[in-house]
Structure 1
């Protein structure tokens, strides 16, 4: 029986890892659909390449910095160039566990790249993917999941509202500040121009792929199947996503007079991000509340960043940052005595303000660390690499051509170029 459960748990972990890796496809659709056609091929290609880069870096040093056995309160110091050797006493394959953790690191990096969209050089993606995967993400993950100092304080973050989402969002904020807004996003008088994505169907499909992948993200974080608890985690995950979408629809309808599609999609994602920290620690009614609040929060967060003139093309700061903060803090309110496997119950379950304080401390320290270190890395890169951003001309023609020499939608652009040539010929003929 023990051997059977070992095999089942290992299959469950690999399945979870596969679902999380497939979320990269969701991000490709989401980011490409939310931006302009001239950058679609670039977005797809760099997402695949940087995940590959992150995989190698995580194998070489990232995993060891998080889970190294000779580690300390700050960082792990062993298991570099992970060999895949089975650890003793584990009831699942440690290679499967490694793959699962690698998938999480890749998602955090992809979130960070939201702040690069439509204006960063390909070389900036390459270098930052190495440094983020080697330094920024592993240290924060060690603090919470690898036995570091926040784990010792009882920080609750079941599947990564802080570790994955807030870390990625903080890095994204550093990037968008240094890169500055896209051409045409803000006017001199402070007004905002909406730069619409080229395919809302892609965006919606991307959200749905992410929604499904999130069952690997959250339910997979149980690591085992023998007690069936993963089903409860999956239920909370789905309830929060649904509540987030509904709340976003309501608030956009009330404020804008229309049920804005982009807001609804962001609301669903915000609900998923928010419940990620608490999906195993709260009751079902609380999951609905957490998701609903996240759906409202993301709507106003987007408006705030526009007001601050921070250009966030795919809303990473609002969906993963603001909702990640709320989701982490919600443990301090709703975590129950029966479900909280780490830390203490939340305020509404007799735990007082202790757990809320621990959660707030984790948010502040991890968010600040990820932002400051990412900003420092990107600032040095900017000086050494002669800038992070493509030229104005390259940005206008699009990164598909300027960075890769080909179109993501070749037929559409070639027809447009043909039309322009025919127009020039006609003008020349008339002039003669």
Structure 2
């Protein structure tokens, strides 16, 4: 066996393992979002994650991957590689095309999961399934081609190592558009327009979800080397760890002094914000810069969450503050701190300008395409759940589950839909004739 064959085998093992780590992050998304929403919608969260994995994977296989990594057409879109039937000529891989696709499929699942949290507790399940198709087959792959698929932003020199812009900024602005389009949850706004607080159902569950996401992020960032022999892997992992720690520490200290308590949801999201912020530059910036990037990410997340609240935009899990705002900062930070080309490293303004251009384009793309997609879906079916469905909870309305983890008497399986209708009637009684 040649040294080349051994190296290719090691690279394949590395990429497959890190892809599995990224896929495990879906368990993190599920637990995090289920812990942040109310009990009556926990199963709906889980089912949306399964929709992301199942439908999203198939859409990316049949359509999305080719549009993202196929041979470039005018810098805008890929044109071959549907169902992995051909190898795009510009991909110079040390691993097989199948292995590369698996890693990229794990990424696309993460993008749609960002949107899931922002529309939790009130999106119609069938409408969400259709949106999964739009995001994984068209919206994300086309934008991804511009940077990672030999498209126009990549040719200009935009740097986004593991996706602060492509995944998190795009996904975060898509989440913002969806949250605004659908509107706040029933009862979120009081009679005078003030926003009420919806208490999380299970913060320990949410924290476990965050820890799983943190673990998976090492695969997210370090796995983006696509080779097990890249000497940067150790540094990437350290930068990832330091940034996440700084994001969590910054929010912990901020809430301790600002509100006189260490606020658990803020610290959870602060750590995630630090992870998002370092994703673009984990291979390009120093450990000291990673700490600064993470701390600023956590604080910006807090300010963005307050901004949403002031504008009565309902984002139950903080998808926009965590992913979009931290993603923007992390992408800009590459232009500032990158050891090769960063402004503070003597590289001038070019890279910073390209980074800013990239995030403006990707933010608008995510916002506009999501709004248009939901408008199209609305022509076929309601995008938002009916008031009585939202009142009794989406678990029973869409999945026939009375409660995710409360004890109940046995219910005849064939009669469970009768029980569902009874609960809906109780939540929305009809006036006497």
TM-score scaled by length of structure 1: 0.92
Equivalent in the alignment of 2:429: none
Tell me the residue number matched to 1:101: 104
1:235-278 deviations in Å (ceiling 9; x for gaps): 10011000000001011112111110111001000000000000
Alpha-carbon shift at residue 49 of structure 1 (Å): 2.4
1:229 Cα deviation after fit: 1.7
Residue 170 of structure 1 aligns with which residue? 173
What SS class does the counterpart of residue 192 from structure 2 fall into? coil
8 Å contact kept, 1:41–1:407: no
CA distance in 1, matches of 2:39, 2:366: 31
Q: Partners of 1:377 and 1:165 in 2: how far apart?
A: 19
Distance 1:327 1:248 in 2: 17
- Alignment correspondent of 1:367: 363
1:403 aligns with 2:405: no
Q: Deviations over 1:208-240 (max 9, x none)?
A: 000000011000001112233211111100110
Distance 1:353 1:328 in 2: 14
Moved over 4 A (4+): 84-89
How far did residue 93 of structure 1 move? 2.2
- Partner of 2:348 in structure 1? 352
Q: Distance in 1 between matches of 2:409 and 2:367?
A: 41
| 1:20-419 matched pairs, under 5 angstroms | 20-83=22-85, 90-337=93-340, 345-385=341-381, 387-409=382-404, 411-412=406-407
Instruction: Structure 1 unaligned segments of length 5 or more: list them.
Output: 338-344, 422-432
**CA distance 1:149–1:333, shift in 2 (3 Å):** same
RMSD: 1.8
Shift of 1:334: 0.3
Mapped contact 2:282–2:290 kept (Cα < 8 A): yes
Aligned to 1:14: 16
Shift of the alpha carbon at 1:173? 1.1
Q: By how many angstroms is 1:346 displaced?
A: 1.3
3-state DSSP of counterpart to 2:78: coil
TM-score (norm 2): 0.91
* Number of equivalences: 409
Q: How far did residue 166 of structure 1 move? A: 1.0
Checking the alignment, whether the CA contact within 8 Å between 1:85 and 1:95 is kept in structure 2 is: no
Answer whether contact 1:23 1:213 (CA < 8 A) is retained: yes
Question: Which segments of 5 or more consecutive residues in structure 2 lack a partner in the other structure?
Answer: 411-418, 423-433
Partners of 1:408 and 1:86 lie apart in 2 by 48
1:372-418 residue CA offsets vs partner (Å, 9 max, x unmatched): 01101101212321x21111111010000011111342534659xx9
Tell me the alpha carbon deviations over residues 36-74 of structure 1, each in whole angstroms, 9 at most, x when there is no partner: 000111111221123110100000010000110253300
Find the residue that maps to 1:259 and give its secondary structure. coil
Higher mean Cα deviation, 257-266 or 400-409? 400-409
**Bigger shift: residues 75-84 or 195-204:** 75-84
Cα distance change of structure 1 residues 70 and 154 upon mapping to structure 2, 3 Å threshold: closer
Q: What is the deviation of 1:188?
A: 3.2
Change (3 A) 1:264 1:149: same
State the shift of 1:86 in Å: 11
3-state SS of the aligned residue for 1:231?
Answer: helix
Kept in 1: contact 2:35–2:203 (CA 8 A): yes
CA offset at residue 8 of structure 1? Answer: 0.3
Q: Helix, strand or coil for the counterpart of 1:411?
A: coil
Q: How far apart in 1 are the matches of 2:68 and 2:269?
A: 30
